[in-house]
Structure 1
Amino acid sequence: MKPGRIFSAGGPVSQERSRRDPDPKRLGALIRQARVLKGWTQTEFAARLGYHQTKVSRLERLGTQDIRTLRAVAELLDIPLREFGLSHVGSADHEPQAGMDRRRLLAAGIGALASPSVGRRSANSGSDLVLALMPGLSPAEARPASVEQLEQRTLAARGLFCACRYGELDRVLPALITELRAARAELADPVMSRLLASTYQVAASTLLKRGDLGNAWLAVGRAVAEAEQSGDPVALASSVRIQGHALIRGGHARAAVVSIRHSAEQLSGSYDRLPAVRLAAVGLLLLRGATAASRAQDRGAVQEFLGEAREVGRYVEIDRPDSWANFSSTNIGLHTVSTHVALGDAGAALDAAAPLMGRRIQAPERRAALWLDVARAKSQLGQLDEAHRALRLAQRAAPEDVRRPAVRELVADLAVRDRTGKVPGLRRMCDELGVPV
């Protein structure tokens, strides 16, 4: 059978059928039909998605209501989103392919930077920040500041990110980056490289939140370079963690698993002898590894990373948003919820989330992350009203965070699936966020 598109006008799925609320098993049959017409085996299709073959087998037999999975499948099989009951609000939060070698990794980063979309996005997401990341682009004079002042301002920038105050970060980061670069050139002090690495990490994380992968890669590269220059293992662990985040967002979760596992092995040691901050940085790196493994549908690796992170948690607990390496049992719990959601285990995700709901989580970004994962789990179960309630709690915790592309996409998809309008609050939320339905 020849590979090709099957959903052109007059295809086997009628418009009337596509307007109905998607039935998971019907979606599974659609996925199988499209895969067969492409000429791919389940193993070949799984490799392109970055999943294990058993995941594809389960998809074709039982279907799924997981929005991220459906979007990745639709993109790869050329299935119109309407067939899956999804909106056309775009996001870069897919992972269409599996791992890659070093040459392909570099090509992906360069390709993202060269993408025409980068310029358009940067115009809407802090053009001064993007300019500050460019080589050689800095004012002729930078305001002099002491090392202590620069360190406090770097910590304050991290605090703004944890509070999801992205607009304020747009105003703070460009000047801070410029001054840190000038101070490093003048003092040749490894401390300046450490502070620059941390600031670039914040910049990369902010750009990733906005879906600006191209410019985020630029910040990631600078963070890793400065961390290596500083010789500080905490800065290096944190930079590798952000690099893993960018790989995941770019659809290369397996490459992120390999990179994080290697770095964690190099940076770890006897847990009872490592300084607390370094141990916390290693713990955070392991949690990012769990995230990457869950996106790659590698359940064994998820348990490996989470198990090791829990072991680290026996020796260190730093629960301060302004810390260089904020690692705690709360973070472990939040990442456990997130990995269950990514694996499609909605029930397990909600069970893991239950004890966290009554816990005091200081950072708004983390509180919002919990409720967003609860919303995704409720969506997977088809509980649209409960998903909307969780989204409202996320919005209350961090209003700016729910305006980023991945969340707007989730809101739009829920609204499209609510065909009968039983959850009117979804339409209101779309209006508030400027989401077309």
Structure 2
Amino acid sequence: MADTQTEARRIGDVIRQARLLQRRSQAEVAAELGYHQSKVSRLESGRGTEDVRVLREISCALRIPPHHLGLAAASDINHPEPEAEDMHRRTLLAAGIAALATPTTATVTAAHNDLVHALLPGPTAASTGPTPDSGQLRNQLADARRLFSTCDYTQLESLLPGLIGQLREAISGSPGSADLSGLLATAYQTSASLLLKQSDPGNAWLAVGRAMAEAERSGDPVVLASSVRVHAHVLAREHHATQAITLVRHTADQLAGAYDQRSPEYLAALGLLLLRGATAASTSGDRSAAQDFLTEAEDVARYVSLDRPEAWANFCPTNVALHGLSAAVAFGDAGIALKAARPLMRRHIPVPERRAALWIEAARAYSQQGRLSDGYQALRIAESCAAQDIRRPAVRELVADMAARDRRRTLPELHHFSRQLGVPA
């Protein structure tokens, strides 16, 4: 424990010295990253330095070499081995028009390119067969949702371009169809969520813009709430947490009330939107807002329980508890997080993506406590739940940083795991 505290103070001193050398205030650095000033102050005092995501952002903002903060070199993460499934690419989005940028790695797949092109304005590729009817399209969309919840991202990425093209073709044959617009909006939402999993926020912005437009055309509050949720996710990921919180709050206020008269789908969409607000608030260090969103979500969850493998909106008390755990990790409250995680570890969570999320957040909490062995075991359990989820850039980054902190190499299995993921420390 003493070694951990000493290392935390050392990291805090490095951050403070780098900021002072650049003659920047804590408020200026916090504003650039979308945090409260108190978060930077805590880091400089050696508190919260266990959150490797925050340390990477500070490293970039203050131009501190990653290894000075106990992190793996960025090149190890951004340039994985050929077999790694990191499909990261950058795009620019201005005035609603996407200008595709050159991929930053050589691992962008043909399926990824197909998905990006399906999101662009203009005519879609001509279909070789008859356009499916709305019932068939709805079934295909349900398949796409199921692939996301089971973390089969490779298959999902192959399915989405054709589905989007068919939906757009169907809408061109039935202009003004609210039902088809709702289906297309959901396909775009799914695309945005997948792109965020792949750490491709540029193209996720493009997908969100298309989802919001179709959601407005559908006039369906459930579809709109789901689109706003994904929009808020992208905002928070790109350090616009305050705007994400405002967007969620404004939308949720319009949808709240009369819960006993609402459909399960309506309540699930609202509940998941509130949970997204909690995530955005915890990311920005706003404890009060995070707790408010979680409390509201708990209230909604009393009226609905959609937690089946085939359900896209898997919203229920368990999911609320998972987000409470995630918020505790974001605030650096590792002990509280692990206390919340223990009963969830014994609970049946049928959705693989949610099961994996539980163990990944537990691994982050263990890592914050310096319990690298326990963190490694949690990650292997997460891998058994959803193998493709472990290969996401954010998780690979966590593994690399855990391995980098094991300077004495007392956990050879962790380093082997890191090499398997293509991110040796």
Q: When the two structures are superposed, what TM-score results if normalisation uses the length of structure 2?
A: 0.90
**Residue 59 (structure 2) aligns with:** 74
Partners of 1:158 and 1:122 in 2: CA distance: 23
Pick one of 11, 23, 44 that aligns with 1:60: 44
Q: Structure 1 residue 118: deviation in Å? A: 7.0
Partners of 2:405 and 2:5 in 1: CA distance: 6
2:249 aligned with 1:261: yes
Q: What's the CA shift string for 1:268-309, capped at 9, x where partnerless?
A: 232222222111111110000000000110011001100110
Amino acid at match of 1:73: I
**Residue 132 (structure 2) aligns with:** 145
* Residues 195 and 432 (structure 1), Cα distance of their counterparts in 2 relative to 1, 3 Å cut: same
Q: Contact 1:379 / 1:414 at 8 angstroms: preserved in 2?
A: yes
Partners of 1:181 and 1:273 in 2: CA distance: 33
Q: Structure 1 residue 126: deviation in Å? A: 1.7
Q: Contact 2:66 / 2:74 at 8 angstroms: preserved in 1?
A: no
Amino acid at match of 2:69: F
Partners of 1:238 and 1:259 in 2: CA distance: 12
Pick one of 227, 249, 258 that aligns with 1:239: 227
Amino acid at match of 1:139: A
* Residues 232 and 175 (structure 1), Cα distance of their counterparts in 2 relative to 1, 3 Å cut: same
Pick one of 119, 122, 125 that aligns with 1:136: 122
Q: Contact 1:21 / 1:419 at 8 angstroms: preserved in 2?
A: no
* Residues 253 and 116 (structure 1), Cα distance of their counterparts in 2 relative to 1, 3 Å cut: farther
Q: How many residues align?
A: 405
Amino acid at match of 2:212: V
2:127 aligned with 1:127: no
5 Å matches for 1:249-328?
249-328=237-316
2:12 aligned with 1:33: no
**Residue 331 (structure 2) aligns with:** 343
Range 405-414 or range 127-136, more displaced: 127-136
* Residues 400 and 275 (structure 1), Cα distance of their counterparts in 2 relative to 1, 3 Å cut: same
* Residues 366 and 319 (structure 1), Cα distance of their counterparts in 2 relative to 1, 3 Å cut: same
Q: Contact 1:385 / 1:423 at 8 angstroms: preserved in 2?
A: yes
Q: Structure 1 residue 218: deviation in Å? A: 1.1
* Residues 227 and 145 (structure 1), Cα distance of their counterparts in 2 relative to 1, 3 Å cut: same
Q: Contact 1:306 / 1:332 at 8 angstroms: preserved in 2?
A: yes
Q: What's the CA shift string for 1:373-411, capped at 9, x where partnerless?
A: 011111111111111111101111111111111111111
**Residue 87 (structure 1) aligns with:** 72
* Residues 39 and 263 (structure 1), Cα distance of their counterparts in 2 relative to 1, 3 Å cut: same
Amino acid at match of 2:55: L
Q: What's the CA shift string for 1:59-88, capped at 9, x where partnerless?
A: 222242221121111111111101011112
* Residues 78 and 110 (structure 1), Cα distance of their counterparts in 2 relative to 1, 3 Å cut: farther
Amino acid at match of 1:43: A
Q: Structure 1 residue 139: deviation in Å? A: 2.2
Q: Contact 1:113 / 1:214 at 8 angstroms: preserved in 2?
A: no
Partners of 2:301 and 2:180 in 1: CA distance: 30
Partners of 2:206 and 2:181 in 1: CA distance: 16
Identity of aligned residues (%): 51
Q: Contact 1:125 / 1:210 at 8 angstroms: preserved in 2?
A: no
Amino acid at match of 1:157: A
Range 339-348 or range 125-134, more displaced: 125-134
2:192 aligned with 1:208: no
2:367 aligned with 1:383: no
Partners of 2:391 and 2:105 in 1: CA distance: 20
Pick one of 405, 418, 421 that aligns with 1:430: 418
Q: Contact 2:98 / 2:120 at 8 angstroms: preserved in 1?
A: no
Q: What's the CA shift string for 1:227-278, capped at 9, x where partnerless?
A: 1111111100001101111112212111111111111112223222222211
2:290 aligned with 1:334: no
**Residue 35 (structure 2) aligns with:** 51
Structure 2: where are the runs of 5+ without partners? 79-91
Partner secondary structure for residue 201 of structure 1? helix
2:161 aligned with 1:174: yes
Q: Structure 1 residue 147: deviation in Å? A: 1.4
Amino acid at match of 1:39: R
Partners of 1:282 and 1:351 in 2: CA distance: 27
**Residue 144 (structure 2) aligns with:** 157
Q: Structure 1 residue 111: deviation in Å? A: 9.8
Partners of 1:435 and 1:125 in 2: CA distance: 23
Structure 1: where are the runs of 5+ without partners? 1-19, 93-105
Amino acid at match of 1:410: L
Partner secondary structure for residue 359 of structure 1? coil
Partners of 2:97 and 2:153 in 1: CA distance: 26
Q: Contact 2:96 / 2:209 at 8 angstroms: preserved in 1?
A: no
Q: Contact 1:244 / 1:256 at 8 angstroms: preserved in 2?
A: yes
Q: Contact 1:109 / 1:214 at 8 angstroms: preserved in 2?
A: no
Q: Structure 1 residue 137: deviation in Å? A: 4.1
2:215 aligned with 1:227: yes
Q: What's the CA shift string for 1:67-113, capped at 9, x where partnerless?
A: 11211111111111010111124679xxxxxxxxxxxxx97786985
Q: Contact 1:118 / 1:215 at 8 angstroms: preserved in 2?
A: no
Q: Structure 1 residue 316: deviation in Å? A: 1.7
Q: Structure 1 residue 121: deviation in Å? A: 6.7
Partners of 1:45 and 1:275 in 2: CA distance: 44
Partners of 2:95 and 2:251 in 1: CA distance: 20
**RMSD of equivalent CA atoms:** 2.3
Partners of 1:389 and 1:272 in 2: CA distance: 42
Q: Contact 1:109 / 1:217 at 8 angstroms: preserved in 2?
A: no
Q: Contact 2:373 / 2:411 at 8 angstroms: preserved in 1?
A: yes
Q: Contact 2:111 / 2:158 at 8 angstroms: preserved in 1?
A: no
Amino acid at match of 1:68: R
Q: Contact 1:122 / 1:212 at 8 angstroms: preserved in 2?
A: no
Amino acid at match of 1:371: W
Amino acid at match of 1:133: L
